[in-house]
A and B are shown apart, each in its own frame.
Chain A
Amino acid sequence: MPKIEWGMLIVNYLFLGGLSAGLFFVSALATYLPQREEASYARIARYGALMAPWPVAIGSLLLIFDLGSWQRFYKLFLHLRWQSPMSLGS
């Protein structure tokens, strides 16, 4: 059984990324779906939008620190390797 290379940091990043996505989605729903202007929907839309970016931002930090040489993380953005999902993702 091969050793697991991507551990808890990555797992948490995935969770946090999903959390942010969920927050954005709910916020968007609350913005565009409601027929009437109800205060609760506006609040959901507003707070959702405010909270949404943070989990993924923290998740990205986790991603960076998961790197073996995190001080070189900027190199991710210097090269585009179209065959590499990670490069595209960056």
Chain B
Amino acid sequence: MHDKRYALVIDSRKCINCKACVVACRAENQVPLGHSRDWIGEEHRGTWPRLLAAFEPEQCHHCANPSCVRVCPTGASFQRDDGIVMVNEQDCIGCRYCMVACPYNARFFREDKGVVEKCTLCKHRIDRGELPACVETCPSKVRACGDITDPDGKLQQLLATREYRVKKPQTGNSPQIYYLL
């Protein structure tokens, strides 16, 4: 009996930078303007007419070995058994150490609440058997969310079809967003 672990597999080639996921997350999680729990990285290269543009969605990687959880002095940052990294707002004192520790700048500080916030993989939806808002709303179906430990699950199926990479593996965080190449 293994512990399940939720992860994301992202096919950035299909991302068209339409911002549906950003708005869906904002609506679903009441994220105020000025911050985003998820965002689209943009890369534009080249000179006319040899040009390239690429778009890459990103959010909290829900690392298997999260540095943000390790450095939290009060234990407000914690990880669920299913891998989702969360912030307990009652215990958070807003020291922002986790923000400094996160290699991906996934966290942000809520001035109005005095606590740190980030993507929760829409755990309230997952617990209801639904997909995270960003995954569901996407026109290109760029993201896939599921149990990475399931050998027959859709994530493993996707990873079997193509090469993939994770961001900043050298940190030792074991991030759980797999970007298909």
Contacts and interface: CB of A to CB of B under 8 A. Distances in A.
State if A and B touch, Cβ cutoff 8 Å.
Answer: yes
Interface stretch (A16-24, A28-36, A39-47, A72-80): A72-80
B96 A86 contact: no
Contact of B95 (A3, A67, A78, A81): A67
Contact of A75 (B71, B74, B110, B114): B74
A60 B91 CA distance: 20
Q: Name the interface size band of chain A.
A: 20 to 34
Interface residue tally on B, bucketed by range: 20 to 34
A37 interface: no
Contact of A81 (B72, B100, B114, B115): B72
B35 to A, nearest CB: 11
A68 B74 CA distance: 13
A84 B73 contact: yes
B70 A73 contact: no
A81 to B, nearest CB: 6
B73 A68 contact: no
Contacts of A68: 92-96, 109-111, 113-116
A75 B91 contact: yes
A6 B114 CA distance: 14
A70 B100 CA distance: 18
Nearest to B91: A75
Best-buried of B71, B73, B97, B110 by chain A (most CB within 10 Å): B73
Given A68-B115, A72-B93, A5 B71 contact: no
* Closest 7 A/B residue pairs (Cβ): A68-B94, A68-B114, A69-B114, A87-B73, A86-B73, A83-B70, A75-B74
Given A67-B93, A75-B91, A76-B73, 12 more contacts: A2-B105, A66-B95, A67-B95, A68-B95, A73-B93, A76-B74, A81-B73, A84-B71, A84-B73, A86-B71, A86-B97, A90-B73
